[in-house]
Structure 1
Amino acid sequence: MVVPLTVYSNSDIHFRKGEDTIRNGVYSISDDNYKRLKYPAWTPTWDPKHQMAFTNPKPFRHTDRGYFGDPTFQNLLSGEEVQTRKLSPKLGTEVTGVQLSALTPRQKDDLALLVEQRGVVVFRDQDFKDQSFDFIKDWGKHFGPLHVHPTSGAPLGQPEFHITFRRGSRDEAKKTFANKLNNISWHSDVTYETQPPGITLFGMLQTDVGGDTQFLDTVEAYERLSPTMKKLLDGLKVLHTSKDQASNARQQGGIERKTPIDSIHPLVRYHPVLKKKCLFVNRAFSRRILGLKEEESQALLNFLFRHLDTCLDAHVRAQWDERTITIWDNRRLLHTATLDWDSDNLRHAFRLTTIAERPIGSEEEFNEWTEELEEEKIKRTEEDSLIPPYEYYERYYK
């Protein structure tokens, strides 16, 4: 069987009925946790005014800023004070001596290319959390439109920010591990969207030792496969859904900013800047391979999930402190939180997510893509998701 969504914990992004509270008519964290925040302006809230107040964006042609980056990164990394360290030969770089908030547009283009080439870049000693919300949003819009998460906490009046908040409870780990052996949940953010994220920024506000974020390279995971397996997977389509996440939010008493959505994406995704292919599938939101019978889809998804779960020689860990910003390419990387503490420390962070291109399976498909064709595909999503395997094969694979 395909592992259900319950393995993917939303406990750090969703309102918790019975544990959190309502403050001034807005759902928020408990008074005890609120008093412990170092940055109360970033308090996670779930504003009833935002219930179904947003819609998913219409298809648009994304202009990736990585195309305009300098492969030598002279504008971004040439200063005497700048130091870089590779986290692994193929994946991840740590940078000191670069202040993200001070980058010029040209340096931001270099940053986009660096993030896409290295997958994830960790920046130390950053002042982002001391900037205004508007400044940070304007900074992020250089890379694409900003995503609004359908169910997570956000600073009051700032739905473009996604807040991750681990409550200060010594029982957190005990409750999590009461019925399972680990809390590793490899995923790519909101892949159910018609145009999921590309450049993604995650900033730490308050933390202690532990809680590393782990990243896994799906380009490398794809390239590890045999030619025969690649041939089998190339061209297959997968149904992604936000409905389980939305249900989770409702059950915990939270809000939904958008109508739940299904999307059909290629199982093997083509990255237009890198001109490489990667696996675009994850336990959190990928539900079924279209055109296969139920048992076939489950068996193939479970193989891929296990391959990704165990491909730890294609992964890195980012360690956090309270002035660290990590930026990654959500198209090619999976990530997971690490629950490795049993203290009462808070872990408070924010994510700013920019929307990228519609996932496509090849360079040819990328070049032929139009907003009009995409609108037609979106309209057929429900119909196509219900087509029997033989008919789906005849219509789309043959």
Structure 2
Amino acid sequence: MTSRVQALIDVRPSSGHTGAEIHGVDLREELDDATVAEIRSALLTWKVVFFRDQNLDHAQHVAFGRRFGRLTPAHPYESTPPEGFPEILPVDRRRYAEFVGKRKVTHDNGWHTDVTALVNPPAGSILRADVVPPYGGDTAWTNLVAAYQALPEPLRTLADSLRARHSFNLQVFDGSEYGKRIASNPLVAIHPVVRVHPETGERALFVSPSFTARENEIIGLSARQSHRVLELFYEQIARPEFTVRFRWNPGDIAFWDNRATAHLGPSDLGHLDFDRVLYRVTLEGDVPVGVDGAESELVAGQPFLGS
């Protein structure tokens, strides 16, 4: 007779490839190791997991994040995190208007994987909603493993062999206070176009349109060739069947695996006066490894480490 272990959480998939809501857990409480392990398992399976109505404060947010790894400072270019919480990045459209000089809702509202200009991009991010608009402001995620697996075999073989340069695009922030911070401390890394996930062994199509946006980013290709190849991969990761879209409510949490996803910030609020305030903590990442076993290469900057 086989015994069955009672699941500690209720995992409800949100789409065919990507995302699941987790119920039956209160993140304000101290979680036991078994519950943490089940959350991690759901994250590795679905790439992003959502928790409704958690209403964490800063301290609880940090404590939850630390159950899954070392937390880094808020962001390589963040200068004013909440007092007493250097790990927390405010995602607040009012702040962006001040230091970017534009009506931006978030750092980046194009498809991207967080901070891949680092040689060790974050392993994961945990974002919680505080103030959300009555409509609009959704976030979408895409599954980079599913996108890779669905490529035709010749394109998978090509992708396996390529490496790409990742950096911040100064043109987006040119002349702003944020742009000056980037220019004074450039971050550049060369990553495999396909990275092998360190926990699952899965291959993920590791291209980030916001960080590999210029035409000479694929190593060894001409500018024109690089542009065309990247466009093929960008179209692939944005295919709707690999994505999930999340409608925020105050108190909600999204926790994503940054090694296997890209996400799309909202671009539908620029003409509206709604406030939108979220807070993010980030898990320290490892150096990506390609199919050939070669690690990413540091070009400029330093690894971004936690404590």
Coarse TM-score class (shorter-chain normalised): 0.7 to 0.9
- Counterpart CA distance in 2 for 1:334 and 1:139 is 22
Look up the equivalent residue of 1:261 and give its one-letter code.
Answer: L
Could you tell me how far 1:300 is from its partner in structure 2?
Answer: 0.7
Look up the equivalent residue of 1:86 and give its one-letter code.
Answer: P
- Counterpart CA distance in 2 for 1:99 and 1:269 is 33
Look up the equivalent residue of 1:327 and give its one-letter code.
Answer: F
Indicate yes or no: 2:37 matched with 1:115: no
Would you say the 8 A contact 2:27–2:64 is kept in 1? no
Could you tell me how far 1:197 is from its partner in structure 2?
Answer: 1.1
Instruction: Give the alignment of 1:1-398 within 5 angstroms.
Output: 74=6, 76-77=8-9, 83-102=10-29, 103-129=31-57, 131-132=58-59, 135-148=60-73, 149-152=75-78, 154-167=81-94, 185-209=110-134, 210-242=136-168, 244=170, 248=173, 251-254=175-178, 256=181, 259-286=185-212, 287=214, 288-309=217-238, 311-341=239-269, 342-362=271-291, 365=293, 377-378=297-298, 381=299
Deviations 1:247-276 (A, max 9, x none): 82x722247398221111100111122221
Aligned to 1:59: none
The structure having more radius of gyration, on CA atoms, is 1
Distance 1:256 1:144, change over 3 A: farther
- Counterpart CA distance in 1 for 2:109 and 2:252 is 22
Deviations 1:282-335 (A, max 9, x none): 1111140111122211211122223333x0111111110001011111111111
Aligned to 2:303: none
- Counterpart CA distance in 2 for 1:325 and 1:99 is 11
Would you say the 8 A contact 2:55–2:250 is kept in 1? no
- Counterpart CA distance in 1 for 2:127 and 2:5 is 22
Deviations 1:85-114 (A, max 9, x none): 211122211123311232123322321221
Look up the equivalent residue of 2:200 and give its one-letter code.
Answer: L
- The alignment's TM-score, normalised by the length of structure 1, stands at 0.63
- Counterpart CA distance in 2 for 1:112 and 1:101 is 17
Which structure 2 residue ranges, 5 or more long, are not aligned?
Answer: 96-101, 301-307
Aligned to 1:25: none
- The alignment's TM-score, normalised by the length of structure 2, stands at 0.81
Which structure 1 residue ranges, 5 or more long, are not aligned?
Answer: 1-71, 78-82, 169-174, 178-182, 383-398
- Counterpart CA distance in 1 for 2:39 and 2:11 is 13
Distance 1:243 1:73, change over 3 A: farther
Secondary structure of the corresponding residue to residue 28 of structure 2: helix
Secondary structure of the corresponding residue to residue 76 of structure 1: coil
More helix by share: 1
Q: Percent identity?
A: 30
- Counterpart CA distance in 2 for 1:90 and 1:301 is 23
Look up the equivalent residue of 1:297 and give its one-letter code.
Answer: S
Secondary structure of the corresponding residue to residue 273 of structure 2: coil
- Counterpart CA distance in 2 for 1:260 and 1:158 is 25
Would you say the 8 A contact 2:192–2:290 is kept in 1? yes
Secondary structure of the corresponding residue to residue 170 of structure 2: helix
**Cα RMSD (Å):** 2.9
Aligned to 2:305: none
- Counterpart CA distance in 2 for 1:259 and 1:354 is 21
